[in-house]
Amino acid sequence: MNKSRKPGSWKLMSQRSVSPKLMSRKPTFGKPVSWKLVAAVAVVLGGIAYLLVTGTSGAMTYYVTVDEMLERREFLAGRPVRVMGSLVGESIDYDPAVPRLRFTLAGAGARRLEVDYLGIQPDQMHDGWEVIAEGRLKAGGSFEAGKVMVKCPSRYEGALPLDAPPPESFPSGPPEAPVLPIPPGAGL
């Protein structure tokens, strides 16, 4: 230990060695922020926000029945909508040369909605089956679809409860083994 210093003199030396210019500066934490870095972060955050808005806008479509669509026609006109109704079988008009499909959806009452779809006709379009059309309601009252989906009734039936008896078409016991005839002259 250096004996030339008096105890407590180190405090006075450290205070004297700091210049008044340094004492007047505000403390900074790390390096100063680069404007290029700020701009790059802003571009990345803006791109993420854009992707979120455009990615979720297609998912935000109304899902209505034919009756609800016709009751709220002024509000829903021009907006993306999914409409569900029963297919009127005799109304199906398909032109494979274009391809253009026109058909009518019926609501729960007597209300009907004309649908115009540019695309290939789905395979399972039968009278009375439920159809979901996704598109926009035109000013004239018809519906311009961009996508048409047919709900297959067999896929949406409920399963039988576990304690329910089996339907009549199922055999009640183990399958019987077929009886094969023994050909004559076959030795056993």
Prior bond of 99 cis (ω within 30°): yes
**Mean pLDDT, all residues of the chain:** 77
pTM for the whole thing? Answer: 0.52
Largest CA distance in the chain: 130
- The identity of residue 50, as a single letter, is Y
CA dihedral 94, 95, 101, 103 (to 10 degrees): -40
Query: Pairing relation of β-strands 112-118 and 143-150?
Result: parallel
The pLDDT, as a whole number, for residue 181 is 72
* Choice among 22-36, 53-67, 70-84, 159-173 with the minimum mean pLDDT: 159-173
Taking CA 80 as the corner, what is the angle to CA 77 and CA 86, rounded to the nearest 5 degrees?
Answer: 85
| Predicted confidence (pLDDT) at residue 172 exceeds the cutoff of 90 | no
Find out whether 102 and 122 touch, Cβ atoms under 8 Å: no
Distances (CA, A) of 183 to 180, 186, 188: 9, 6, 11
Domain boundaries defined on the chain: 62-155
pLDDT digits (tens, 9 = 90+) for 94-153: 898 988 999 999 988 788 999 999 988 888 888 888 899 999 988 888 899 999 988 876
CATH topology classification for 62-155? OB fold (Dihydrolipoamide Acetyltransferase, E2P) (2.40.50)
* Choice among 4-13, 54-63, 176-185 with the minimum mean pLDDT: 4-13
Instruction: Check residues 186 and 83 and name the one with the higher pLDDT.
Output: 83
What's the 3-state SS for 122-159?
A: CCCCCCCCEEEEEEEECCCCCEEEEEEEECCHHHHCCC
Q: How far, in Å, CA of 10 to CA of 19, rounded? A: 16
Concatenate the DSSP letters of all residues of 56-83 into one string: HHTT--EEEEHHHHHHTHHHHBTSEEEE
| Predicted confidence (pLDDT) at residue 86 exceeds the cutoff of 80 | yes
